[in-house]
Chain A
Amino acid sequence: MKTNDIILQTVTKITLFVIILFSIYLFFTGHYHPGGGFIGGLMASGAIVLLLLAYDIEMVKAILPVDYRKMIGIGLLFSAGTGAGALLAGKPFLTHAYTYANLPILGKTSLHTAVLFDTGVFLVVIGVTMTIIQTIGESD
């Protein structure tokens, strides 16, 4: 019996970008609206899981050559480094700072160090979810 997955694969190619875009939107909107690093990371890993469903595990590794265990470490370094940065300025650990900057295209934007902390959360959530799913998927 010969079957193919061409409909699933074509729809995956289109919807993948919509899901990734929405996860980035959720990540950056987290300070003022519902969203943030956790749900953004979960949705980004959901996009990778959709890719895993449509293609096999070797091809996804070829498309995204990322070591998710290292990604957990980098995320934890981001979060701990943001906390430790406050110590350098003589403030208590995890004190955040913000400033207003005039960026070229975006105009007046508030830059907050909590975004760096949230980046750490984002990377750790993607790393943990994909490590769990790939470890279960690979063990035959």
Chain B
Amino acid sequence: MTEILKFFIGLTVLTGALLSLVTAFGLIRLPDVYTRNHAASKSATLGVMLVLLGTLLYAYQDTGSFHSRLLLGIAFIFMTSPVAGHLISRAAYNSGVKLWGNSVRDDLAKHRKK
């Protein structure tokens, strides 16, 4: 039981760290605000949630104490981080930041013209 739990803890923490790295690469490599926001708000949320889950399980198997604050933190990040991404993206669109040159669809602009 403990060994399986240890393996699972390592897996979640390492996957979370890898997803955070993917976020950083996405922020560097992607061309415009919206695609960068897509990378940042999705993979960073899941990465941080996985690291927090690993921490929760580690504290449980190490000392037997269940830290409900970490569970609350997971739920809180899951609720707020995509909304923060949405607000940044909408603020960028409303202040007239252009899409990437090769983009083919902008439904919101068509809808606003009506």
Please list the residues of chain A having a beta carbon within 8 angstroms of any beta carbon in chain B: 1, 3, 7-8, 11, 14-15, 18, 22
Q: B92 near A: Cβ within 8 Å?
A: no
Known: A3-B94, A22-B72. A15 touches B79 (CB 8 A): yes
The answer, among A1, A11, A22, for a CB contact under 8 Å with B83, is A11
**Dominant secondary structure of chain A at its interface with chain B:** helix
**Please, which residues of chain B bring their CB within 8 A of the CB of A7?**
83, 86-87
Contact B76 A18 (CB under 8 A): yes
CA gap between A30 and B112 in the complex, in Å? 52
Contact residues, B79-104 vs A (CB, 8 A): 79-80, 83, 86-87, 90, 94
- In the assembled complex, how far is the CB of residue B59 from the closest CB belonging to chain A, in whole angstroms? 14
A11 and B94 contact, Cβ closer than 8 Å, known pairs A1-B112, A22-B72: no
Q: How many of chain B's residues have a CB under 8 angstroms from any CB in A?
A: 12
| Per-position 1/0 for B50-74, Cβ under 8 A of A | 0000000000000000000100100
Q: Which residues of A contact B69 (CB under 8 A)?
A: 22
Residues of chain A contacted by B90 (CB below 8 angstroms): 3
Interface positions of B (Cβ within 8 A of A) = 69, 72, 75-76, 79-80, 83, 86-87, 90, 94, 112
User: In the docked arrangement, what's the CA distance between A14 and B76, Å?
Assistant: 10
Q: Could you show 15 A-B contacts with beta carbons less than 8 Å apart?
A: A1-B112, A3-B90, A3-B94, A7-B83, A7-B86, A8-B83, A8-B87, A11-B79, A14-B79, A15-B76, A15-B80, A18-B72, A18-B76, A22-B69, A22-B72
Q: Is the CB of A1 within 8 A of B94?
A: yes
Q: How far, in angstroms, from A93 to B79 measured CA to CA in the complex?
A: 47
The residue from B72, B80, B112 contacting A11, defined by CB atoms under 8 A apart: B80
**Contacts of A15 on B, CB cut-off 8 Å?**
76, 79-80
Q: How far is the CB of B35 from chain A (nearest CB, A)?
A: 20
Please measure, in the bound complex, the distance between the C-alpha atom of A15 and the C-alpha atom of B75, giving whole angstroms. Answer: 10
Chain A's nearest CB lies how many Å from the CB of B82? Answer: 9
In the bound assembly, the distance between CA atoms of A8 and B86 in angstroms comes to: 9
A19 to chain B, nearest CB (A): 8
Contact partners of A18 in chain B: CB under 8 A: 72, 75-76
Q: Which residues of the other chain, B, contact A14 by a CB distance below 8 angstroms?
A: 79
Smallest CB gap from A14: residue in B: B79
Contacts of B76 in A (CB 8 A): 15, 18
Q: How far is the CB of B87 from chain A (nearest CB, A)?
A: 6
